[in-house]
Structures are given as structure tokens and as C-alpha cells.
Structure 1
Amino acid sequence: MKEERGFTLVEMAAVLLIISVLLLLLVPSLSDGKSRADQVSCEGSVRIVESEINLHYAEHKAYPETLEVIKRASAADPLIYSCQSSTYTYSPTDGSLKKQ
């Protein structure tokens, strides 16, 4: 009689269990990486806006009245800068952006 070779049901279940455990460990770390990348990207964007505000000050000896002057305002409010899920308020008196 010819002996057939292959995996048993128990062996296949064990492999699926191991793969499931590895996925459970991997998926949360991937989502944490994306949120961290979004945060770093937003911080970089805020630095760019602050540089544009300072450049405007250097050229005009005054801070821009609104962020529309440097074309960075949100559609709803000219003193608000939105980045990802963060919102920053612009103060034209000192040229600062403060996180809300």
C-alpha cells in the first residue's frame, strides 16, 4: 500500500495559530508607526509655517495680520492652521502658533 505524505489537521492548525499570534503582535506596531509619522510630518509643516511668518516679518517689519497673507489659513478661520488632526491658532501680535 502506498503511503501518502502530507500535513495533518493538527499541524495545519498549529501553523495558523502561530501566524495569527504574529499578526496580532505586528498590526498594532504598524498603526503606531503611522500615527508617529503623521505627527512628525505635522511638526515639520508647522515649522515651515513659522519660518514663512518670520520671513514675512523680516521683509515687512510686521507679522502678517492673518495666515491668508502667507496662504496658509484654513477655510473656516484665517487665524487657524490645521495639520492632520491638530489645530494651531495664530497670534498676529507676536507671530506665534499655539496648539489648541
Structure 2
Amino acid sequence: MNQKGFTLIEMLIVLLVISVLLLIAIPNVTKHNSFINEKGCKAFLKTVEAQVQAFEMETGGKPTSVDDLITGGYLKEKKCPNGYDIVITNGVVSTSE
């Protein structure tokens, strides 16, 4: 009986190696995901600041809220990638942490 195929021991070893790789990879992915969202929020804040300046140049006044930028067509959304709301106070852009 010379059958070709994998034995149960070989399959268990392969499953063990795959599970160890998953245990190593999953925490790294979740850690990098929060880092990416934080960087994305900082970049979005810079974009909103630029749109505030564009709003000031075109209208001659500062926007009172993010809704002014959205209704004027300067922005499409008012949330950062990490879920925080963007707030404009006296022309200064920040997040509502």
C-alpha cells in the first residue's frame, strides 16, 4: 500500500505553524490600525485648515462651524478616520476628544 498523501501528524504540524503565525500577526495589525487612523486624522485636520483659509479668501469671513464648510462645498464630512468630530472655534480647527 503505497498511497500518496499527508498523514495526520503532518496536517497537525501545518495547522500549528499557521496558528502561531496568526497569533503573531493579529496584534501587530490592530496596533498599526490605530496608528494609521491617528495619522489620518492629523492629515485631515491639515486639509480642514486649508479649506478654512480658502473659505476666508472667498467669503471674507471665518466659518463658524464645520457645517459652513460642508454647505459651501469645501468638505464632504466632519469626522476624522478615528471617529472624532472636527470642531472650528474662532477659525481654529481641532478635534472633539
**Do they superpose with TM above 0.5?**
yes
Aligned-pair distance for 1:21?
0.4
Aligned-pair distance for 1:8?
2.5
| Structure 2 letter corresponding to 1:91 | T
TM alignment of 1:4-83, pairs within 5 A: 4-71=3-70, 81-83=78-80
Structure 1 vs Structure 2 CA RMSD? 2.4
Change in 2 beyond 3 A, CA 1:7/1:88: same
Structure 2, unaligned stretches of length 5 or more? 72-77
Aligned-pair distance for 1:5?
4.0
Identity score, percent: 27
Which stretch of the first structure deviates more once superposed, 42-51 or 55-64?
55-64
Change in 2 beyond 3 A, CA 1:82/1:5: closer
Matching residue within 70, 92, 96 for 1:96: 92
Change in 2 beyond 3 A, CA 1:60/1:4: closer
- TM-score relative to the length of structure 2: 0.68
- Is residue 63–residue 88 contact of structure 2 (8 Å, CA) maintained in 1? no
Change in 2 beyond 3 A, CA 1:86/1:66: closer
**Runs of 4+ displaced beyond 4 Å:** none
| Structure 2 letter corresponding to 1:86 | Y
Instruction: Please say which structure displays the higher CA radius of gyration.
Output: 1
- TM-score relative to the length of structure 1: 0.67
Change in 2 beyond 3 A, CA 1:97/1:70: same
